[in-house]
Amino acid sequence: MSNSIRIATRKSPLALWQAEHVTARLKALYPDLIVEIIGMTTKGDQLLDSPLSKVGGKGLFVKELEQGMLAGEADIAVHSMKDVPVEFPEGLHLAVIMERENPYDAFVSNTYASLAELPEGACVGTSSLRRQCQLADRRPDLRIEPLRGNVNTRLAKLDAGEYDAIILAAAGLIRLGFESRIRDCIAPVDSLPAIGQGAIGIECRIDDARVQQLIAPLADRDTTDRVLAERAMNARLNGGCQVPIGGHAVLDGELLTLKGLVGTTDGSRILRAEASGPRTEAEAIGVRVADALLGQGADAILSALMGH
Ligand SMILES: NCc1[nH]cc(CCC(=O)O)c1CC(=O)O
């Protein structure tokens, strides 16, 4: 027992890649450690046909993994930070944030090289309200159609001719070996990424000192400060993952700059704010950006969305 660790994960190819990645990092540190991967099905995986914004609920992709840890069936859960809710159940916490992959959204198409090249009225697949909002703002002429499923399924739907282009997180494509499918990395001014996009987080029981000590070296300091700023903004806005909120922090030495965005799904209103400060104040910077957005009326936009 003391020389083993059990990882709870979803069973999608991307989730399994992330669990294997954590396994490899742990094995490199502790060659004798026994690592077991426990695949679980979450509610989010079962509801792949309904738009996520409708089935709603925070933590759709993490709850079963958390229950597994609380029941003592697993020691850690590996998540895409993008899918991790602001709050954790009692007894669990986010212990480690690992180094970030490319955090931007990717334009994927078999015909066109970029968003700018799409002809008028072209059909773009995405079910993310954040992507819809920014796409509609940039290109009101486009037809935006729902697109759900794991990364492989989404690519297959594009290849079947259902869309002229689709938007996916670059990180998922790169990790699964589909980097060559990225025609263009969308600049953050055109599609501000989701909070935590591209980062992997590890959750564990708060009282499990042995496991926390084991995984501590996997933390990446830069990614941690950036994602803490993004998540502090989200917490203040009280936003789940299913509202058009974007947040992205960058570091320039010790200076952290966070850009935030809240909008309507149809792109008719978009609020933007930005703040900078020392990285040691990452969370305060997140709160400042959130307050600036709230000062512009973000509250009304978000409560209208949650109410439907
Ligand atoms: N919402 C599902 C999800 N969760 C994490 C990623 C991509 C990888 C990441 O952001 O770490 C994706 C797919 C996507 O948005 O294209």
Residue 132: which domain range? 105-186
**Has residue 192 been placed in a domain?**
no
Best CA proximity match to 200, nearest among 79, 92, 95, 93: 79
Q: Do 147 and 270 fall within a single domain? A: no
Number of the ligand 1 atom closest to the C-alpha atom of 193? 10
Distance 19 CA to ligand 1 centre (A): 15
**Do 49 and 148 meet the contact criterion of CB atoms below 8 Å apart?**
yes
Q: Do 249 and 214 fall within a single domain? A: no
Annotated active-site positions, please?
83
pLDDT-based confidence at 154, cuts 50/70/90?
Answer: very high
Q: What are 15-26's pLDDT values in tens digits?
A: 999 999 999 999
**Do 76 and 213 meet the contact criterion of CB atoms below 8 Å apart?**
no
**Do 176 and 303 meet the contact criterion of CB atoms below 8 Å apart?**
no
Q: Do 95 and 110 fall within a single domain? A: no
Best CA proximity match to 286, nearest among 244, 242, 237, 252: 237
Q: Do 240 and 295 fall within a single domain? A: yes
Q: Domain with 8 in it: what CATH number?
A: 3.40.190.10
Mean pLDDT confidence for 61-75: 93
Q: Do 167 and 205 fall within a single domain? A: no
pLDDT-based confidence at 34, cuts 50/70/90?
Answer: very high
pTM across the whole model: 0.94
Q: Do 74 and 22 fall within a single domain? A: yes
Number of the ligand 1 atom closest to the C-alpha atom of 199? 11
The percentage of residues in the chain with a pLDDT greater than 70, rounded to a whole number, is 94
Q: Which of 9, 16, 52, 80 to mutate to test the pocket of ligand 1 (most atoms within 8 A of CB)?
A: 80
**Has residue 126 been placed in a domain?**
yes
**Has residue 224 been placed in a domain?**
no
Q: Do 79 and 215 fall within a single domain? A: yes
Q: Which of 14, 100, 147 to mutate to test the pocket of ligand 1 (most atoms within 8 A of CB)?
A: 14
**Has residue 50 been placed in a domain?**
yes
Q: How much is the mean pLDDT over the chain? A: 93
Distance 168 CA to ligand 1 centre (A): 7
Q: Do 87 and 110 fall within a single domain? A: no
Count of the separate structural domains present in the chain: 3
**CA–CA separation, 139 and 120 (whole Å):** 9
Mean pLDDT confidence for 164-172: 98
Is residue 274 scored above 70 in pLDDT?
A: yes
Mean pLDDT confidence for 277-295: 98
Q: Do 163 and 300 fall within a single domain? A: no
**Has residue 193 been placed in a domain?**
no
**Has residue 227 been placed in a domain?**
no
Q: Domain with 267 in it: what CATH number?
A: 3.30.160.40
Q: Do 109 and 170 fall within a single domain? A: yes
Q: Do 214 and 162 fall within a single domain? A: no
**Has residue 23 been placed in a domain?**
yes
Q: What are 188-226's pLDDT values in tens digits?
A: 999 999 999 999 999 999 999 999 999 999 999 999 999
**Helix intervals (H) in 221-297:** 221-237, 282-295
Q: Do 95 and 109 fall within a single domain? A: no
Distance 3 CA to ligand 1 centre (A): 32
